[in-house]
Amino acid sequence: MLLILLFFFGKTVPEKTTAPARPAAAAQPVTALTTADVVTKAKRSLGQAQTTHILQLENSVVRGDVKAQQIKVFKQLANLWGDTLSQASIGAFYFGEAAKLENSEKNLTFAAHLLLDNAMAETDAAMQTWQASSAKSLFDKALELNSTNDSSKVGLGACYLFGNISASPMQGLQIIMEVANRDTTNMYAQMVLGLGGIKSGQLDKAIERFNKVVSKQPGNLEAIINLAEAYDRKGDKANAVKWYKISLNMLAIPEAKKEIESRIKALQ
């Protein structure tokens, strides 16, 4: 949740001059990254001892109960990359690989949502696509185990919507809309649709979605900050200031409060 909060806050404060919203440009082709590419690049910043330890784990499954060994090693790699080396996406990838072997819906969705959160916060297009593609494979597997999990459906749709993994992001929108229309109380679907509205420049729709979320979840800081940003981008200074001020009472990070206060002053 901290990662999600940091992402949404990081996207919150616009430039000092608010420009009219524009529709999002068509996605540009992105050079595909493999997991090997991502891991190899990450290894370059490691020390020799850390690199050797990773190689030993990668090459440790050779005989016996291979599946059980693979699960154990994948989890060790997940902990090493995610916790020790602070490479959350690689850690989530390996945790997801273990979950695939375990057929654990809980672990599959945990890893998938972490990868998706990272993809939505990512600024490098190629890395974003790898994260979203990896998350999609986990959501697909989770839905094979439980086709009624709406959170997984929304997550899958978000992979298409924000991950540049398809030439038809509308495919993801349709998946999310199916959940939102069937279950109007699903605030995760409303939240993702709101973010999609900001991404596409459809600010009125984004505002409608975020208002639905905050009406049901008045303590949802992510929704409040995104609602303020949507009003800000639209040029509705009064409502932007209103929601930025509400967020100030909930923020506990001094640097974040300072940036929001600065934005409020710029709007007043």
Least Cα distance to 70 among 57, 79, 80, 61 occurs for: 61
Pick the range with the lowest mean pLDDT from 13-22, 182-191, 239-248, 251-260: 13-22
Q: What is the span of the domain harbouring residue 240? A: 175-268
**231-256 pLDDT per residue, tens:** 999 999 999 999 999 999 899 889 99
Question: Whole-angstrom Cα distance, residue 189 to residue 175?
Answer: 10
- How many structural domains is the chain composed of? 2
Give pLDDT, residue 47.
Answer: 94
Task: Note whether 245 and 251 are within 8 A (CB).
Answer: no
Average pLDDT, whole number, for the chain?
A: 88
Residue 149 lies in a domain: yes
Task: Name which of 169, 175, 179, 101 is nearest 141 in CA terms.
Answer: 101
pLDDT digits (tens, 9 = 90+) for 35-73: 999 999 999 999 999 999 999 999 887 676 789 999 999
98 falls within a domain: yes
Each residue's pLDDT tens digit, 76-99:
999 999 999 999 999 999 999 999
Rounded to 5 degrees, what angle do the CA atoms 14, 259, 163 make? 45
Give me the mean pLDDT over the 166-182 stretch. Answer: 90
Q: Give the end of a domain, one of 114, 135, 165.
A: 165
Residues 132/162, Cβ–Cβ less than 8 Å: yes
Which residue in this structure is represented by tokens 């009003």?
A: 231
Whether 215 and 188 map to the same domain: the answer is: yes
pLDDT > 90? residue 148: yes
Using the predicted structure, report yes or no on whether residue 192 has a pLDDT greater than 70: yes
Exposed e or buried b per residue across 62-94, where buried means at least 16 C-beta atoms within 10 angstroms of its C-beta: eeeeeeeebbebbbbbbebbbeebebbbbbbbb
Which percentage of the chain shows pLDDT scores above 70? 88
Indicate whether 195 pLDDT > 50. yes
pLDDT at 164 (0 to 100): 87
Asked if residue 17 is part of any domain, the answer here is no
For residue 131, being part of any structural domain is answered with yes
Residue 170 maps to a domain = no
Query: Are 42 and 152 found together in one domain?
Result: yes
Contact in structure between 151 and 189 (CB atoms under 8 Å): no
DSSP calls for 170-223 = HHHHHHHHHHHHH-TT-HHHHHHHHHHHHHHT-HHHHHHHHHHHHHH-TT-HHH
Mean pLDDT of 103-115: 97
| Confidence at residue 30, expressed as pLDDT on a 0 to 100 scale | 61
Output the pLDDT for position 155.
97
pLDDT on residue 95: 97
How much is the pTM? 0.84
Residues 250 and 183 in one domain: yes
